[in-house]
Amino acid sequence: MQKNVSLEEAWRRKYPEQVVLVLTKHDDGRINIMAVGWIAIVSDDPGMFMIGIDDQAFTLELIRRNREFVIAYPAKNMADVTRYVGTVHGHNIDKGSASGLAFTPATAVNVPLLSDAVANFECETVAEYRPGNCPLIIGKIVACHVNTDDSIQRLVNAGSGYQLQ
Amino acid sequence: MQKNVSLEEAWRRKYPEQVVLVLTKHDDGRINIMAVGWIAIVSDDPGMFMIGIDDQAFTLELIRRNREFVIAYPAKNMADVTRYVGTVHGHNIDKGSASGLAFTPATAVNVPLLSDAVANFECETVAEYRPGNCPLIIGKIVACHVNTDDSIQRLVNAGSGYQLQ
């Protein structure tokens, strides 16, 4: 049976929610990383992702400037680092160094891959929309990479307050 | 370690993927239901969802005509019916009746809620985009409902070929 509730209360039932890491690069070489939950595949030929990035995010500034980024699926053993990059801001902190993550050069964009991720998708921005209160970036996938270890699985967000598992 | 692969191979690592049911209503009263995996929250004030609906889907025709729909989170015990509505076409089949699902009147749109879902979101279309090969519908949430049973969980797609669990 259904009962009418507020949006906030209804979205408490949305879990498990997906989570990805979005990598960007600053002109000074710093790598920035952000955790994003508002993500979907939006085209399969060509392959495209949509990511929702809030106005205040340093990631948004870097994507608008350079029009390229990498989307990585974090592995289950990356819960702590995903929580870390999802809760601190890149304007003041060099999250790439502070996170302790390992990087691998990409093939088509000037942003690195996450060495230990389940998969990495190199993206070029092709559109930006704003239907509500959040900018939506559309990235065309220009190269793909997967972890050579087939056994690792994607991290998911199992509940509010970053219950990553 | 990462290895360069095709998009198809990389997306084999995307699971668990989310799945929702999208409900629409035909002028003749028939209820149509479709399973959708390309879905994301895209605004929280006002609340909005984005759904990717392929050009051939009867659901797309009905959304464009009526500009309203319901997004439901299926419960874990709805794997069979989710697979069913995700693999047959609504142009020829009355999926609402054939599915055996129970419906409840909505409060703001002329499309019913799914009585046994984890949650239901009544939506009005506010935009349509097409960055790649799939139409993207943006629905503003105008009313929300949750199951009075707090213990039921969302169904997820755990692997290719509709491994719903």
Q: CB distance B1–A107 less than 8 Å?
A: no
- A9 contacts in chain B (CB < 8 Å): 144, 146
- A105 contacts in chain B (CB < 8 Å): none
In the Cβ-directed half-sphere of B70, how many Cα atoms lie within 13 Å?
30
Say what the pLDDT of residue A129 is.
98
Instruction: Report the SS3 class of residue B3.
Output: strand
- B37 Cα to chain A: minimum distance (Å): 8
Q: CB distance A14–B46 less than 8 Å?
A: no
Distance of CA B109 to the CA centre of its chain: 16
Burial of residue A93 (CB within 10 Å: 0-12, 13-18, 19+) is: middle
Nearest partner of B142 among B122, B163, B113, B125, judged by Cα: B122
| Contact yes or no for A125/A138 (Cβ under 8 A) | yes
Task: Tell me the C-alpha distance between B6 and B1, whole Å.
Answer: 16
Say what the pLDDT of residue B46 is.
98
Q: What is the pTM of this model?
A: 0.96
**Token pair for A71:** 């989307």
Average pLDDT over residues A144-165: 95
- B161 Cα to chain A: minimum distance (Å): 17
- The residue behind tokens 């970053």 is A162
- B77 Cα to chain A: minimum distance (Å): 15
pLDDT category, A152, cuts 50, 70, 90? very high
Say what the pLDDT of residue B90 is.
82
A13-36 pLDDT, tens digit each = 999 999 999 999 999 999 999 999
Q: pLDDT 10s per residue in chain B (165 long)?
A: 999 999 999 999 999 999 999 999 999 999 999 999 999 999 999 999 999 999 999 999 999 999 999 999 999 999 999 999 988 888 888 999 999 999 999 999 999 999 999 999 999 999 999 999 999 999 999 999 999 999 999 999 999 888 999
Say what the pLDDT of residue B161 is.
84
pLDDT at residue A87 above 90? no
For all residues of chain A together, what is the average pLDDT? 96
